[in-house]
Structure 1
């Protein structure tokens, strides 16, 4: 696993648990405790975690500059490939629900080429990318903007989704596990994803290879709730992503179409 991938996953694990130990991160990531300590020090210098004895705790951002904007630059080329691959699966004329996340922002960039589309977004960043694009009818789902992420969550977002129907839901995900299915680090994000799953005729999940084999805090759905999954080719390499191959096999066994970008 590359440094950027490891930092991304480490940050998500700390944020999902509020407090996590060095030894637990070492086991989850398959790296030495010394490497974990260096990574936590790097994340602390960026103001994303706070080091405590034996581990780290999450730092709750109070503005949109932390969290999302830092992770957005990690693996940008990989996420852009994933975004292009996902957009290619969306049929022109569709009604699309686009999830929040650093990868789905890249999906938004490529969706303009699939116009005409009606796109409802759960991310303020995605809304900026799609605003005023020819052939894109943009709907910003209401809700609470989650600090540091600018994802739209909460009761208002859930009530809005319950009134709409979509041809396709493009879902980002924090973790996908052979036994525990799709999961997310935030309860609020998990609830919105569950609402999106219920309202969509087809679901395309997208995540980079670091999310395979990961069981995040809140389960979203079993594997077979998704129709197609797009990830990067690193997922097939057990040396860098030990949970990748087994998770891909489990997805295929569940009837999920898997695409590598």
Structure 2
């Protein structure tokens, strides 16, 4: 396990448990307590958790979420691995619609390796990453920038998408639930995703394993509306993600290709 992956797993364990001691983390991760203390200090310095006597606690309840900047450092190593895996699935010459979100920004960083591509983006962050990249013909979908997220939403974004066709829609998601399907926190973001699903020949959803089993506010689509789902291998670990194995099984039964990165 790389240092980055170990930091990501440490953060997940603390977030899920609410509080963990240094000795508990050392046993779960298979490393020394000195290594755990060093990792906890690094995570605290980035504002991702808080050290307490003998262990650590989350900086905020899991359900509170946070805007793009607050989530950017959350599981950065995992999201970069997911971004590389999704980019590898894109054929050169494709027309790609890239959704907003912290994970899809990592997809954007790897898309230049698949050039030439035509890429339409639904976030200002992805536009900044792809601007002036050789071999990338970049389109920024119009619309209103949602405060905190910088995702592009609203009637103008919807009308623009309805006029375009894509080979692949790389979609982020707020939650994936065995019964509820693909769900999103924002009604505006959900509406954009619904149009993207219609306008693309194939949709690939990318999300870290913390989204499995989550029922977010707005339903986007049934599980079967998506062709492939890319998540991290921790989704199969019932200790860190209690709903992960069941959700993955339900996805496969719905005909969704599941890729673990």
- What TM-score, normalized to structure 2? 0.78
Which residue number corresponds to residue 216 of structure 1? 216
Give the distance between the partners of 2:256 and 2:208, measured in 1 at CA: 16
**Structure-1 residue corresponding to 2:11:** 3
Residue 167 of structure 2: SS of its match in structure 1? strand
| CA distance in structure 1 between the partners assigned to 2:13 and 2:222 by the alignment | 25
Q: 1:181 to 1:57 in 2, by over 3 A?
A: closer
Residue 185 of structure 1 is matched in structure 2 by 185
What value does the CA root-mean-square deviation take over the aligned residues?
2.1
Matches within 5 A, 1:155-170: 155-170=155-170
Alignment partner of 1:219: what SS?
Answer: strand
Q: Distance in 1 between matches of 2:115 and 2:236?
A: 33
Larger RCO (CA under 8 A, 6+ residues apart):
1
**Deviation readout 1:102-157 (Å, 9 max, x if unpaired):** 00000000000000000000000000000000000000000000001100000100
Which residue of structure 1 aligns with residue 236 of structure 2? 236
Equivalent residue pairs, number? 214
Structure 1, unpaired ranges of 5+: 11-37, 50-55, 59-65
Give the superposition deviation at 1:199: 0.2
Identify if the C-alpha distance between structure 1 residues 57 and 169 changes in structure 2 by more than 3 Å, giving closer, same or farther.
closer
**Are the equivalent residues in 2 in contact too, given 1:193–1:220 (CA < 8 A)?**
yes
* Equivalent residues of 1:228, 1:258 under 8 A apart: yes
Structure with larger Rg: 2
- Residue of structure 1 equivalent to 2:250: 250
1:122 correspondence with 2:122: yes
5 Å-filtered alignment, 1:51-200, equals 67-200=67-200
Does the Cα contact within 8 Å between 1:5 and 1:75 map onto a contact in 2?
no
SS in 2 for 1:248: helix
Partner Cα distance (1:173, 1:73) in 2: 18
Q: What is the rounded CA distance, in whole Å, between the counterparts of 2:148 and 2:15 in structure 1? A: 17
Distance 2:104 2:117 in 1: 16
TM-score after normalising by structure 1: 0.78
Which residue pairs with 1:201 in the alignment? 201
